[in-house]
Amino acid sequence: MKTTVAGPMVPTMARVNRVRKETHDTFTLELHPAYGQEIHHFAAGQFNMLYVFGFGEVAISISGDPTNPKPLIHTTRAVGNVTKAMAKLKTGDMIGVRGPFGSAWPVKHAEGDDVVLVAGGIGLAPLRPVIYEILANRRKYGKLILLYGTRTPSDILYRKELESWRSRLDMEVYVTVDRSSVNWQGNVGVVTTLIPKAGFDPQQTTAMICGPEIMMRYVALELQKRGVPMSSVFASMERNMKCGIGLCGHCQMGPTFICKDGPVYPYDKIRELLLKREI
């Protein structure tokens, strides 16, 4: 979306083209710019501030295809006042958009490497643009491995797309759930249990992690045990963001502002911060 004309604090208008229910508490919005405005290109990992009029504004990662950014796609979970109101939007409703903001996944930097993506729960949404981008340039990368953990089989996000990716010969997809009845034929166990068995070259791997912080800490530990250098591990952080441009301080984490310096960080830059109890 255009942010340059009116400044980064003024939302531009977009129209809801489609609302797709993903699971019982997650949904995807497809947005088209209104009033002839254009969609700004975004990089995988960046986010927009979405404004639901009368309710407020929240930061939502962009989960569409960076190589084909139209329409603008966001997947989120209805968990707070704003996202619950967002979930009730209908086709044709208007929404405010500011962005894209923040740092990106190191997709270019990963060229030539095996790429291991480790996602937990809704954390698959910010990693989906990485998958699109790598699949669009598949020859530039080694193995592409997605390790996805979620709560139960009914919480699996993008299920059809996961099935489609799994059926490809140039991508490995492993899904696990934390709990299940016996009707589920797949894997049960936390996502960290998938790491020792995934076939990648630790010294030639770029790993990208997105999910709850505790999960990311344990995933990083497992990757370290496999021999992946911490300088090759990247994580996406989440805090309560407001301005999106590093001015208000709401998303400060130690010396960094997640909206401006993150949300994607090299893991060795934030490891110490993640272990601090005070922040």
Partner 1 sequence: METLEPILAEHPFIKGLKPEHIQLMVGCSRNVKFEAGEFILREGYEANEFYIIRHGQVNLEIHSPKRHAVTIHTCREGDVLGWSWLFPPYLWHFDARAMELTRAIALDAKCLRGKCEKDPSLGYELAKRLAHVIEHRLQGATLQLLDLYSSTD
Sites of contact with partner 1 (CB under 8 A): 25, 77-79, 120-122, 149-151, 155, 176, 178-182, 184-190, 192-193, 196-197, 211-212, 214-215, 218
Residue carrying the six token digits 């979405």: 50
Beta-carbon count within 10 A of 259 CB? 28
Cα distance between residue 45 and residue 30, in whole Å: 17
Q: Name the minimum Å distance from CB 225 to partner 1.
A: 10
| Dihedral pair phi/psi, residue 128, rounded to 5° | -60, -40
- CB closer to partner 1 out of 140 and 166: 166
Tokens of 57: 């504004």
Tokens of 36: 């002839």
Tell which phi-psi region holds residue 230, choosing left (phi > 0), alpha (psi between -120 and 50) or beta. Answer: alpha
Smaller CB distance to partner 1: residue 112 or 212? 212
H or E element that contains 258? helix 258-261
Return the bridge partners of 208, or none: 117, 234
Instruction: For partner 1, give the closer residue by CB, 34 or 78.
Output: 78
Q: Least Å distance between CB 8 and partner 1?
A: 29
Shortest spacing between CB 128 and partner 1, in angstroms: 17
CB of 245 to partner 1, least distance (A): 27
90/197 with CB nearer partner 1: 197
Q: Which is nearer to partner 1, 8 or 80 (CB)?
A: 80
Locate 254 and state its tokens: 């130690």
Q: What is the nearest approach in angstroms of partner 1 to the Cβ of residue 187?
A: 5
Nearest distance in Å: CB 255, partner 1:
26
Residue given tokens 């912080």 in the structure block: 213
The closest alpha carbon to 200, from 276, 139, 127, 115, belongs to 115
Nearer to partner 1, 121 or 129 (CB): 121
Task: Collapse the DSSP code of 150 into the 3-class scheme (helix H, G, I; strand E, B; otherwise coil) and give the result.
Answer: strand
Please give the helix or strand (H or E) that residue 270 lies within, else none: helix 267-275
